[in-house]
Amino acid sequence: MSISSLGILGARFELNQVAEWAMRDAALTHHNLICQHANALFPMGVAHAIASGYDRKGLFRPSIDFLQNCRPEAGHPRVRHLARRCIGAS
């Protein structure tokens, strides 16, 4: 996945910056905000894992926090639900 390289690069940057880059990349072909936010989760997780070495639950927590702080139409409930399932949260 080409988006993986953003996660690797992003290990030295704030996760919000990584999300912004990923969303801009997704916006080139996907104008739907749900797609853009879903696209932000993977490189955020990669960046966070490289920078901190967290386990599975800790890995996706910043991504879920990112989605919680999005506008309701952008931080789509389905995307939040799937991200929570990754860590076994309710």
Query: 89: which residues sit within 8 A by CB, 6+ positions away?
Result: 57, 64
Structural domains counted in the chain: 1
Residue of 64 and 29 predicted with greater confidence: 29
pLDDT band for 69, please (50, 70, 90 cuts): low
Q: For the whole prediction, is pTM greater than 0.85?
A: no
What is the full DSSP assignment across 47-85? HHHHHH---HHHHHHHHHHHHHTS-TTTS-HHHHHHHHH
Residue of 1 and 7 predicted with greater confidence: 7
Q: What percent of the chain has pLDDT over 90?
A: 23
Q: How high is the pLDDT of residue 90?
A: 47
CA distance 6 to 90: 29
Q: Which domain holds residue 19?
A: 4-87
Judged on CB neighbours under 10 Å (0-12, 13-18, 19+), 4 is: exposed
pLDDT, average across residues 42-52: 87
